[in-house]
Amino acid sequence: MRSIARVRAWLPLCICLLANVLIQRLNPPARQDGVDLGTPPPATVVRTAALAENVFAGYLVMMFLQNVDVPLGRATPLADLDRRTLLHWFDLATELDPDSGYPLLLAARHYAETGSPAQRRMMLDWVYRRFEERPNQRWPWLVHAVFVARHVLHDNPLAEFYAAALRTDVSDPAVPTWVGQMDLLLRADLGETADARAILGGLVAAGQIRSPAELKFLESRLPNTVSAAAAR
């Protein structure tokens, strides 16, 4: 009975949301210069309105943020959105559903690749702070932050900082080994051979190199690197 009541409560809201999207698509208004997201409501209020369906409530918040520029027409740049207010909305969605990676995905892939360098760094910093809370769960989005810092912002120190966090903070053995090796490979690509050698030695000493072939590949990325025996 309780589940039926929840469905009945959510059904009108879902219908209204779908109708609103269709109306906006069919009748796009003239371009506006900015979007006022407004202050997000407290999580307790959203939980109450969602009848304790936190996962669905978090999803609706993220759908709103993903399509917030739609009512203003396609010409409205995402860079016009106030990033600090946007992060408050991301925090709300994460608080509602901490197990969801949707807010981090949207921050790292949708918003960190638009706007000014300062706006992008703000998004990446938020992804990193949230990563620190659950590194074994949220590492995929910090991996993308390494990519954005390296190839979009061209900020090598920032990319190295994130890569080092992946190496030192992610401890789940089920996580692919290349995640912890990004720091080594990045420094090798940047010509920081001495640092890369030290990282390789640390990975070997910690037992994080799982096969001779893996070690051979990593050594091949380092000119004049020490041998496997010496690394051990």
Q: How big is the chain by its Cα radius of gyration, in Å?
A: 22
The mean pLDDT value of the chain amounts to: 78
Phi-psi region of 207 (alpha: psi -120 to 50; beta: other; left: phi over 0): left
Tell me which DSSP letter residue 138 carries.
H
CA distance 103 to 227: 43
Please write the tens of the pLDDT for every residue from 165-192.
999 999 999 999 899 999 998 998 888 8
Q: Is 45 exposed, middle or buried (0-12, 13-18, 19+ CB in 10 A)?
A: exposed
**Residue entry with tokens 């879902």:** 14
Q: Is the pTM value of this prediction over 0.85? A: no
Question: In Å, what is the CA distance from 94 to each residue of 99, 138, 145?
Answer: 8, 12, 18
User: Taking each helix axis from N to C terminus, what angle separates 117-133 and 135-147, rounded to the nearest 10 degrees?
Assistant: 160
> What is the pLDDT, as a whole number, of residue 155?
95
Q: Residue 232: what pLDDT?
A: 40
Supply the pLDDT for residue 224. 61
- For the stretch 34-66, pLDDT in tens is 556 778 878 888 777 777 778 888 888 887 777
- Range from 5-19, 53-67, 137-151, 159-173 carrying the lowest mean pLDDT: 5-19
By C-alpha distance, which of 11, 9, 100 is closest to 49? 9
Considering only residues 215 and 119, tell me which one the structure prediction assigns the higher pLDDT: 119
**Residue 25 near residue 32, CB atoms below 8 Å:** no
Nearest of 109, 97, 167 to residue 141 by alpha carbon: 109
How much is the average pLDDT of 121-136? 96
Q: Supply the pLDDT for residue 33.
A: 47
Q: What percent of the chain has pLDDT over 70?
A: 75
Structure tokens at 157: 């120190």
Q: Is residue 124 within 8 Å of 108, Cβ to Cβ? A: yes
